[in-house]
Chain A
């Protein structure tokens, strides 16, 4: 992307979908791991964190995209960080006003959205070079991809570690919760397992393509 600094992307469905799968910020690009691991011990926390991050991502991308001609190149990173920090402060105070329980559960991780590299990465690699419409769609896609990743961790960890989903009991009373899954090590294990699954799927697909080309070459 660095080689085509002024190339503006056409708005397609792919602009949105790319964030969900092909360039999923968590599973493919391995960005923003800290909140992914830290707040996913229950589904509701995961959803809240995903929504908050998406809000900051979209708002800061919009502002960066609007100001892309006004911000001097030398101080761009500092400017992006200030923009992001402003929106994070807004989110921080809003969540505190909406639900104090949620605010206490997420703790410092709402403020730590500032240091989430997904957002700075989007600002630097995409929003600072693209038109407003494509930026909004793309950052919405990225935010959705991030939320899906959080959810896929949060649900697995809540079901295994607590036997519940969104607070509702999923199993009869004699279910023994796998407590380690909601403790810190569980975060690493579940994310590792997801990455393993995706790596295995990718490997199988590559193998299949290899087999097909090999078969046709053999047939000839």
Chain B
């Protein structure tokens, strides 16, 4: 896998094997924060940043653990890194943009339990990407996550005005919509390999 080009890795993570719609990672924020386009956009950016930071640190940690022959500690270390990266982003956002900090609210610390980020770190280790490839992979994953979130938010904003049966309001309808989006993203499957 080490010979893949950076653009292929980026496209693969962003659309072909979209983290949300094809690999089912990060479903909780996908359903939770996709009610409005503004919040969805900010959430996407914050997640992308955490992905980038944690992907780079995960690469370093993985190298260190492999050198020390301590691979069984990998999972625990990754989770610790992600938690600290989220903390870092939280302090950063709070200092430089208090307005954004308020609008994201509880969802910022919740990025820690977003499995898309842990999944990213685990996949890049499993695929043995080198440093630059890891960065391309994390950027692609971030763009893909934001894309899925924005698409969903756009659909849900329109859907507020639609008349649907009362039983299907809420989660059931959101999941059906996600299914349709996922079906649409299957069209990209021919672009790359279906590994992941």
Taking beta carbons and an 8 Å cutoff, which residues of A are in contact with B? 30-31, 33-34, 37-38, 78, 81-82, 85-86, 88-89, 92-93, 108, 111-112, 114-117, 120, 180, 183-189, 191-193, 195-196, 199-200, 203
Minimum CB–CB distance from B34 to chain A (whole Å) comes to 13
A88 and B77 alpha carbons, distance in the complex (Å)? 13
Minimum CB–CB distance from B190 to chain A (whole Å) comes to 14
Counting chain A CB atoms within 10 Å of each CB, the highest count among B22, B25, B170, B186 belongs to: B25
Cβ of B26 and Cβ of A34 under 8 Å apart? Answer: yes
Given contacts A86-B76, A93-B72, A108-B123, contact A33 B28 (CB under 8 A): yes
Residues in A with CB closer than 8 Å to B166 are 203
Minimum CB–CB distance from A40 to chain B (whole Å) comes to 10
**Which among B43-51, B137-145, B155-163, B174-182 touches the partner chain?**
B174-182
Secondary structure at chain A's binding surface: helix, strand, loop or mixed? helix
Cβ of B75 and Cβ of A85 under 8 Å apart? Answer: yes
Residue of B21, B28, B171, B174 near A184 (CB, 8 A) is B21
Cβ of B122 and Cβ of A111 under 8 Å apart? Answer: yes
Total cross-chain contacts (CB, 8 A): 110
CB-CB nearest in chain B for A90: B72
Residue of A78, A86, A89, A195 near B83 (CB, 8 A) is A78
Given contacts A34-B24, A92-B75, A108-B119, contact A81 B172 (CB under 8 A): no
Residues in A with CB closer than 8 Å to B112 are 81
Cβ of B171 and Cβ of A30 under 8 Å apart? Answer: yes
**Can you name 5 A-B residue pairings with CB atoms under 8 Å?**
A38-B25, A88-B75, A184-B21, A184-B182, A184-B186
Residue of A92, A108, A114 near B126 (CB, 8 A) is A108
Residues in A with CB closer than 8 Å to B21 are 184
Contact residue range for chain B?
35 or more
Residues in B with CB closer than 8 Å to A34 are 24-28, 115
Among B8-26, those with CB < 8 Å from A are 21-26
Minimum CB–CB distance from A153 to chain B (whole Å) comes to 11
Among B79-131, those with CB < 8 Å from A are 79-80, 83, 112-115, 118-119, 122-123, 126
A137 and B178 alpha carbons, distance in the complex (Å)? 35
Among B54-85, those with CB < 8 Å from A are 72, 75-76, 79-80, 83
Residue of A81, A120, A191, A199 near B168 (CB, 8 A) is A199
Residues in A with CB closer than 8 Å to B76 are 82, 85-86, 89
Minimum CB–CB distance from B181 to chain A (whole Å) comes to 8
A46 and B80 alpha carbons, distance in the complex (Å)? 28
Counting chain B CB atoms within 10 Å of each CB, the highest count among A88, A92, A199 belongs to: A199
Cβ of A89 and Cβ of B26 under 8 Å apart? Answer: no
A80 and B57 alpha carbons, distance in the complex (Å)? 22
A199 and B114 alpha carbons, distance in the complex (Å)? 27
CB-CB nearest in chain A for B183: A185
Cβ of A183 and Cβ of B186 under 8 Å apart? Answer: yes
A38 and B122 alpha carbons, distance in the complex (Å)? 16
Cβ of B75 and Cβ of A89 under 8 Å apart? Answer: yes
Minimum CB–CB distance from B35 to chain A (whole Å) comes to 14
CB-CB nearest in chain B for A201: B167
Residue of B25, B72, B167, B179 near A188 (CB, 8 A) is B179
CB-CB nearest in chain B for A81: B79
Residue of B114, B175, B183 near A191 (CB, 8 A) is B175
Given contacts A117-B113, A185-B183, contact A199 B28 (CB under 8 A): no
Residues in A with CB closer than 8 Å to B114 are 115
Residues in B with CB closer than 8 Å to A183 are 186
CB-CB nearest in chain A for B168: A196
4 further contact pairs, Cβ within 8 A, besides A37-B24, A114-B79, A200-B167: A30-B171, A81-B79, A88-B75, A186-B179
Residues in A with CB closer than 8 Å to B173 are 192
Cβ of A120 and Cβ of B122 under 8 Å apart? Answer: no
Q: Is B31 on the interface with A (CB-CB < 8 A)?
A: yes
